[in-house]
Amino acid sequence: MTLRVAIKVAYFNIKNLARGFQIQPDVETIFSFLQRAIIKTGFLESQEVKIDYAGRTDHGVNAICQVIAFNIHEKWNILPDRFLHRINANLPQNIRCWAFALVSIDFHPRFDAISRCYHYHIYSQSHRDPLKDRYAWCVWPAFSVDKIESASKLLLGTHNFSAFGSPPIKGGHANRTVISSEWLQIGLNEWVYKIRANAFLYHMVRRLVFLLVKIGQGYWAEEKFIQGINNQLPQMSGLAKPNGLNLFEVQYQELEKNNFEKDN
């Protein structure tokens, strides 16, 4: 009998250790580290492991809650903490599996997700801070908080976001529903942008953050941003740096927060 498990994974995507999440030929990625670690546990039905995941993250992007799923043999229906410890023992320090759940055999962490939430951290000062640069984008000159907050609210609802990213599948549609979009100040000169949607286009969050900052700095007009949302007007080129982005949460109908058992 086959069991299917879902696991929450956190990683700090150190650039010289792994090039993004998705598997790539002849390059170490977060996925390749996970794949080898899971194979070494012996939990799998066969060595031809198929690991599904909620979404790929770019080179340099971090995650608190990437979700992966794969099948195991029923004989490995063991305590979650032992299960996770076995995987974590074979992972580098910047990657950790931290929660576990048994799921239906047809569960898919990407296609069954009902929403995703990303956080983007920025700080604003005239000189870079090497410690903050590990997880945030240094923005200068300073920006108007009122302007970026106002523009971020324009994203709410269902729109064709093709001016802000590309579909992950060639020929796919660009309609997405943004559920929440807000900026919170978390320090003297530090902010986090929180955006939740049913799904995202490729590079969508980094494009949006870049443009919101440019609006706040006066380098891009809110009117043009609105036309991008409503009429797909091409926008100023550019992306926010990957290190500020964090895949914070993926939600499922099947899995509530209390379905996952955390590592001790």
> What is the DSSP track for 93-104?
TTEEEEEEEEE-
Q: Which residues contact 171 (CB under 8 A, 6 or more apart)?
A: none
The answer to whether 58 is a known catalytic residue is: yes
Phi, psi of 21 (to 5 degrees): -95, -50
Q: Single out the catalytic residue among 26, 52, 58, 146.
A: 58
What is the Cα–Cα distance from 254 to 112, expressed in whole angstroms?
8
Active site residues: 58
